[in-house]
């Protein structure tokens, strides 16, 4: 069979070009749908992976903050001040402050980060008050609030882990 025979056959069927064009158009539409769907799935998978990385980073930062606050409570008392542990909590607080809250992927993550942030502030304030109060009971209450902040941060860590 030569190309001449095929050419004569095509010329003998005038509607063939329309059918080929229609089939080609349908194939192009199907290909576009498949390609767009694959790209959408790939972008969704990348977003989910990015959210996992953000969540793991938040868990790590919050867990370090928990450790810092509980250590501050252990190493500090109304009669003893631990500048090293205050610096550790301050560093944790600065790490939390550096988080761009508006770019967190979910409201649940935002809420837990805000809990960690506010309780780091409370821990630092109450640790300072522990040494400033002259009344022993007030100093002990302030010291207890440092521990309470650590417990609340531990709860935020657990809540973040439950988002996994």
**Contact present, 150 and 66 (Cβ < 8 Å):** yes
Q: d(Cα 160, Cα 32) in Å, to the nearest integer?
A: 39
114-161 per-position pLDDT tens digit: 999 999 999 999 999 998 888 999 999 999 999 999 999 999 999 999
Class of the domain covering 48-162: mainly alpha
Rounded Cα gap, residues 149 and 15, in angstroms: 80
Q: Where are the domains of the chain?
A: 48-162
- At residue 1 the predicted structure's pLDDT band, cuts being 50, 70 and 90, is low
Residue 80 three-state SS:
strand
86 pLDDT band, cuts 50/70/90, is: very high
Task: Quote the CA–CA distance of 80 and 75 in Å, as a whole number.
Answer: 8
CB-based contacts of 101: which residues, under 8 Å, 6+ apart? 110, 113, 114
Q: How many CA atoms lie within 13 A of 86 on its CB side?
A: 15
């Amino acid at each position: 069979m030569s190309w001449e025979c095929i050419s004569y056959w095509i010329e003998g069927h005038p509607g063939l070009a329309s059918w080929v064009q229609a089939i080609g158009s349908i194939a192009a539409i199907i290909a576009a749908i498949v390609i767009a769907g694959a790209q959408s799935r790939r972008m969704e998978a990348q977003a989910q992976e990015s959210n996992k990385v953000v969540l793991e980073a938040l868990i790590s930062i919050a867990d370090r903050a928990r450790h810092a606050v509980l250590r501050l409570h252990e190493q500090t008392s109304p009669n003893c001040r631990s500048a090293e542990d205050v610096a550790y909590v301050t560093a944790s607080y600065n790490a939390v402050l550096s988080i761009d809250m508006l770019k967190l992927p979910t409201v649940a993550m935002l809420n837990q980060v805000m809990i960690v942030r506010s309780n780091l502030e409370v821990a630092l304030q109450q640790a300072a008050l522990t040494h400033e109060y002259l009344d022993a009971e007030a100093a002990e209450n302030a010291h207890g609030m440092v521990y309470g902040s650590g417990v609340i941060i531990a709860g935020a860590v657990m809540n973040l882990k439950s988002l996994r």
